[in-house]
Amino acid sequence: MNLTRHILTTTALVLCSIINIYAQEKIVYAFKIHQEIGPAMSRLTQNAIAEAEKMKADYILVDLDTYGGMVEDGDKIRTALLKTKIPTIVFVQNNAASAGALISIACDSIYMTPGSTIGAASVVNAQGELMPEKYQSYMRKKMRATAEETGRDPLIAEGMTDENLEIDSIKPKGKIVTFSVKEAIRYGYCNGEVESIAQILPKLSGGTYQLVEHHSSASESIALWLINPAISGVLLLLIFGGIYFEFKAPGTFFPIGVSIIAALLYFAPLYVEGLAANWEILVFIVGIILILLEIFVVPGFGITGISGIVLTIGGLTLALVRNINFDFTFVPQGSVAFSFLLVTVAMATPLIFLIAFGQKIFSSALFRKMSVVAEMTKSEGFSIKDNKLHELIGESGVAVTNLRPAGKIEIAEERYDAIADGGFIQSGSNIKVVAVRSAYLVVDKK
């Protein structure tokens, strides 16, 4: 009797445990990829998977709608999905083309909305033209290897890239595989047609599921905002604008401080997103050092300044594209030219602005407050007759120090602070006063 009671009690406890396990809500961790595949999306995927693993989610769901994007970032997302031990699901809302197809077949299960498509994974340029064979070969092997890993027909995956491949009853030669929902289901590239994520959850085994959506952290949001081309353009303007202002009025310090902060904000998110490499940042820094040497140390304007400008532009340009050293294999065609144009326009704009409005800016009360102007006394050989500076316009004298562009000049045995109108005047050169700017005489070579 006691044995029977013990068996019944044990059975009841086991049944209660099983019921409790199945009754407990499990977690489906979801994140969206609804834009072009790029550094931002690969980083989002890595963060989302890390968060799902941290909370021990039962499934990871990718809410996907994309025409594709950068091959390298598509491969990063594909690799992250294959490596995680959590079962993965992709919900194709409309498009899973190119890198989107690669991401989809990297998932354990694929669900698609009515009217959606998957395939067309050939590598194309910005104009939609097929890239050379080396690009296609790389993508074919990635597609095939991914399909093999997730238990799908690798020949079909290869056919999504190779137009020369012929597959009986599926694709003739000269076409690329692109499946509708029903075709994808027929050939094992879709587990079911659904209208929403809510219709996927009941299909999962093991109990009821709670959907948890990924939300980007503040740092992620700021980084994504900073790498926006429009924001990058503004930061570039501040970088070059600060350098130009410091060049025109050495010792002001505020403009160069703005330039340094803008450079940090420019490079930091690009470095985090894997765009800016260490050597590209170093190239930029060396360029800035050479420019500063040209301004403050090396007389005239020659190889040092030109090299500095070239290195600065090169560092800023390369930081915007996903090259690997000098390998541009998977850099979209035209992206280098666009980045170069963005940097050069940003470089030219402050210069044009200063040419047009520089006189008003440097003579403004706000600029005089920011400028560092040394106190000059008669005992030190300087004139402090500021009210008579305008009377010196047209007078001739000699440069006592190098003007790069600021320095000292001497007129009628009295010394004055001066700024070279042409950027540099060597010590000992004959000069002529052409204007007055704040407490400075503006001079030119005579």
Please report the DSSP string for 304-329 in residue order.
HHHHHHHHHHHHHHHTTS--BTTB-T
Confidence band, pLDDT 50/70/90 cuts, at residue 40 = confident
User: What pLDDT, on the 0 to 100 scale, is given for residue 359?
Assistant: 57
User: What pLDDT, on the 0 to 100 scale, is given for residue 127?
Assistant: 56
User: Which has more pLDDT, 352 or 289?
Assistant: 289
User: What pLDDT, on the 0 to 100 scale, is given for residue 321?
Assistant: 79
Write the CA distances from 311 to 90, 96, 291, 318, 323, integer angstroms.
44, 40, 10, 10, 17
Total number of domains in the chain: 3
Residue 392 belongs to domain with CATH number:
2.40.50.140
CA distance 127 to 155: 28
Given a cut of 80, whether residue 4 has pLDDT beyond it is no
Are the beta carbons of 105 and 147 closer than 8 angstroms? yes
- Sign of the CA dihedral running 193, 195, 197, 202: negative
Residues 352 and 397 in one domain: no
Are the beta carbons of 202 and 187 closer than 8 angstroms? no
Residues 47 and 101 in one domain: yes
Residues 266 and 303 in one domain: yes
Six-digit token pair at 37? 């595949």
User: What pLDDT, on the 0 to 100 scale, is given for residue 330?
Assistant: 61
Give the residue among 272, 268, 226 at the shortest CA–CA distance from 42.
272
Domain extent for 255: 219-369
User: What pLDDT, on the 0 to 100 scale, is given for residue 21?
Assistant: 46
Residues 23 and 159 in one domain: yes
pLDDT in tens, 58-94: 999 999 999 988 888 899 999 999 999 999 999 999 9
Residues 108 and 174 in one domain: yes
Residues 82 and 192 in one domain: yes
Which residue, of 200, 215, 230, is where some domain finishes? 215
Residues 151 and 255 in one domain: no
| Mean pLDDT for the chain overall | 81
Give the residue among 99, 109, 34, 40 at the shortest CA–CA distance from 69.
99
| Least confident range of 156-170, 326-340, 373-387 | 373-387
Which residue, of 198, 215, 232, is where some domain finishes? 215
CA distance 57 to 48: 11
User: What pLDDT, on the 0 to 100 scale, is given for residue 5?
Assistant: 60
Residues 274 and 328 in one domain: yes
pLDDT in tens, 131-142: 777 778 888 999
User: Which has more pLDDT, 146 or 216?
Assistant: 146
Residues 92 and 238 in one domain: no
Residues 211 and 223 in one domain: no
Give the residue among 94, 192, 193, 107 at the shortest CA–CA distance from 147.
107
CB atoms within 10 A of CB 111: 23
Residue 135 belongs to domain with CATH number:
3.90.226.10
Which residue, of 176, 196, 215, is where some domain finishes? 215
Residues 363 and 403 in one domain: no
Residues 394 and 253 in one domain: no
